[in-house]
Amino acid sequence: MKKYLFFSYLVSFLLLGCRNDVVDLDEELDNPLDATQIECGLPALAFSPDRYDVAVGGTFITDIYLMDSTESEQWYGGVKAVVNYNPEKLELIHINNGDLADGSAPLFFADDTTVGRIEIISIFVSIDSSGINSSNNILLAELEFLSLAAGADTLLFERTENDSCMIASTSCELVDPNDQLIPIRGYGDGVVNAQ
């Protein structure tokens, strides 16, 4: 009798535990730092995570990354990232240095004197002025915000677009170690939903 009871529990467990539930993995596999998530190509500036659900009065932290291909042989000397946000919905609390301006003599500046606009300048300084290789994603800065009001807001890299991939103008800049401009091809903005 015990054998039959044990066997029935085992069969029940296997039948109930081995269901084949098909689940949509798009949300599970939605990494903002995946190069396939950037429509217009690399190099790109992107927020990670790219979506924030926060309670009004709550804080959240977001990172800004310089993205490039793992096969890239490009060397970078500095980045200027300009971010706009709605100051009636968000308040900037703090900015931390990332990995680009990390080293023996880091140069990292953040100007938040204009309400609703943050200008971040991060420069790689080394003895041999070689720059930093971007064969991966480089953390530029970490931003902490306070949610002030309910609703949606966008953390937007400052630019004017003709269409989704044609940038007419931008305040953001990317340079090599010799201070030559490198075009930024993609932008991954962040969306904040406060409730």
pLDDT greater at residue 106 or residue 66: 66
Comparing C-alpha atoms, which of 66, 87, 88, 81 is closest to residue 137? 66
All structural domains of the chain: 41-194 (2.60.40.680)
Across residues 163-168, what is the average pLDDT? 83
Any idea what the Cα angle at residue 99 is, between residues 109 and 112, rounded to 5°?
A: 25
Cβ pair 186, 36 in contact under 8 A: no
Tell me the per-residue pLDDT of 87-105, one tens digit each, with 9 for 90 and over.
999 999 999 998 887 765 6
Tell me the per-residue pLDDT of 33-46, one tens digit each, with 9 for 90 and over.
566 667 788 999 99
Contacts of 119 (CB under 8 A, 6+ apart): 80, 81, 82, 109, 110, 111, 112, 171
